[in-house]
Structure 1
Amino acid sequence: MTVLASRLPVTLIGGGPFSQADIDAARALAPVIAAADGGADRALAHGLTPEAVFGDFDSLSDAAHKAIPADRLHHIAEQDSTDFEKCLIRIDAPLVLAVGFSGARQDHFLAALNVLSRRIGPPCILIAGDDVIALCPPRIALDLAPGTRVSLFPMGQATGRSTGLRWPIDGLEFAPMGRVGTSNEATGPVVIETDGAMLLILPRKSLDLLAAVLAEGQSAR
């Protein structure tokens, strides 16, 4: 089902709000541009023409239709998945950095977190305000500075083990309606192992590090 194959990371633009700083940070790490439906209009407004646009096109403007070459427009009519999921299924890349998927409609944001939790497509990082959010791989090692905020949010039943966290997670059982791991803290380099779907939420300043580690892990596989 791959439509966009890239050896470089991909910046995926959604229809929600994002800043110039968001898109600049994403493009510095992921120079290939794709868009989800009306995100194509946001891309064009920033002077960017996507290599591919995916979605049911219910929010894509006529102006964007005309500005983007027809062979880059991939209309997907089914309504059983979100545009975010439609995109990730069809992208083959080391990493996707997603902007414009938070900060407006919270149902859309929650749906994006749901897609992340189901490990759909390449590793993906949501740039969301002051945070970056990704699904924890089974094992991740991050050379974080002491005091860095590390939040873990389970998207189902989950357990884990850790080194380098102020409050270790060994032996704990996590669940969306039970224990969550908000506002833990690194004491230095961190290693986290998880069983189950666990979202990792770090400060925005950790984007470069998180992107490098996830992309490297994908290449190793």
Structure 2
Amino acid sequence: MNSEIVHASGPVLLVGGGEAKQSALAAAIGDVCAVVAADGGAAALLDMGIMPDAVIGDMDSLSPDRQAGLPPGVLHRIAEQDSTDFDKALRNISAPLVLAHGFLGGRLDHQMAVLTVLCRHPERRCVLVGAEDVVTLVPPCLTVAVPEGERVSLYPMGPVTGRSEGLRWPIDGIAMTPAGRVGTSNEAVGPVRLWVDAPRMLLMLPVACLGVLVDGLAHADGWPARAG
């Protein structure tokens, strides 16, 4: 039996309490099947006149007045303090893709925690959307039609190796680790294809590449859920 709070057959917009442009949120609304807020992210949506389908978190960032104004069944309080609100929300969304706004920018420790969650739940396909960058966990094989000359950064969150096509500096056979070799500031010389052997590699692209990244993820196989 499925235990998630939100079930959607198409993309879901997830909004956090960090930096998020109203114009970007408004543009994303038309392309998703559901809108979810992680705790204080609900305030940004409510300020735009948008009622989220669900608000998930420990509710330490959303004012009591805002909480009281939500319709019955929208607020889902998860009181445990062993995970972040992003973790609480992502693991409770069943959807082919989550577009997460309001999680990049601001405090660095918050951003690092968010990136860790991407690796903790590799079966949850998610793209973090910021003012300058989009970030996702690379699936086993991914093809993205990145324009020639565009920045492509790969960052390992743990030991991982892979191979590539379409990068100025290929990654074939390179053992990457956070404290060793990383793959930032690479460059596309054509459509980029990546293969990785573990769900530990982050792909970072300019925000203008969001569309081609989403298209590539739609045709990629995913990672299986981790035991436990």
Shorter chain as denominator, the TM-score bin is over 0.9
**1:195 to partner: Cα distance:** 1.6
Q: Write the letter of the residue equivalent to 2:48.
A: H
Residue number in structure 2 paired with 1:107: 109
In structure 2, distance between residues paired with 1:207 and 1:105:
23
Residue 218 of structure 1 and its aligned partner are, at CA, apart by 5.9
- CA separation in 1, counterparts of 2:71 and 2:127? 27
The alpha carbon displacement at 1:170 in A equals: 0.4
Residue 194 of structure 1 and its aligned partner are, at CA, apart by 0.8
Listed one character per residue, the Cα deviations across residues 154-178 of structure 1 (whole Å, up to 9, x for unaligned) are 0000111001110000011110001
Q: Does 1:212 align with 2:224?
A: no
**Aligned residue among 196, 199, 202 for 1:199:** 202
Alignment length, in residue pairs? Answer: 220
Deviations 1:97-138 (A, max 9, x none): 011112222211110000012235520000122100000001
Q: 1:120 to 1:192 in 2, by over 3 A?
A: closer
Q: Is this contact kept in 1: 2:140–2:221, CA < 8 A?
A: no
Give the 3 Å change call, closer, same or farther, for CA 121–62 of structure 1 in structure 2.
farther
Q: Residues 142 and 193 of structure 2 are in contact (CA less than 8 Å); yes or no, is this contact kept in structure 1?
A: yes
Deviation at 1:58, TM superposition (A): 0.7
Structure 2 spans left out of the alignment, 5+ residues: none
Once residues 71 and 27 of structure 1 are traced to their aligned partners in structure 2, the CA distance between those partners, rounded to angstroms, is: 21
Instruction: Look up the SS of the partner of 2:65 in the other structure.
Output: helix
Q: Secondary structure at the match of 1:145?
A: coil
Q: Which one has the bigger helix percentage? A: 1
Matches within 5 A, 1:130-149: 130-149=132-151
In structure 1, C-alpha distance between the alignment counterparts of 2:187 and 2:13, rounded to whole Å: 29
Report if aligned partners of 2:141, 2:221 keep a CA contact under 8 Å in 1. Answer: no
**Residue pair 1:4, 1:91 contacting (<8 A) in 2 also:** yes
Aligned to 1:43: 45
The amino acid across from 1:183 in the alignment is S
Q: 1: CA distance between counterparts of 2:98 and 2:157?
A: 20
Using the TM superposition, give the Cα deviation of residue 142 of structure 1 relative to its aligned residue in structure 2, in angstroms.
Answer: 1.2
TM normalised by structure 2 equals 0.91
- Aligned partner of 1:14 among 8, 13, 16: 16
User: What is the aligned-residue RMSD (CA, Å)?
Assistant: 1.6
Give the conservation status (yes or no) of the 8 Å contact 2:13–2:28: yes
User: 1:18 Cα deviation (Å)?
Assistant: 1.1
CA contact (8 A) 1:140 1:191 kept: yes
Q: Percent identity between the aligned chains? A: 49
Cα contact 2:145–2:216 (8 A) shared by 1 = no
Alignment partners' CA distance in 1, 2:111 and 2:105:
8
> Structure 2: which amino acid aligns with 1:63?
D
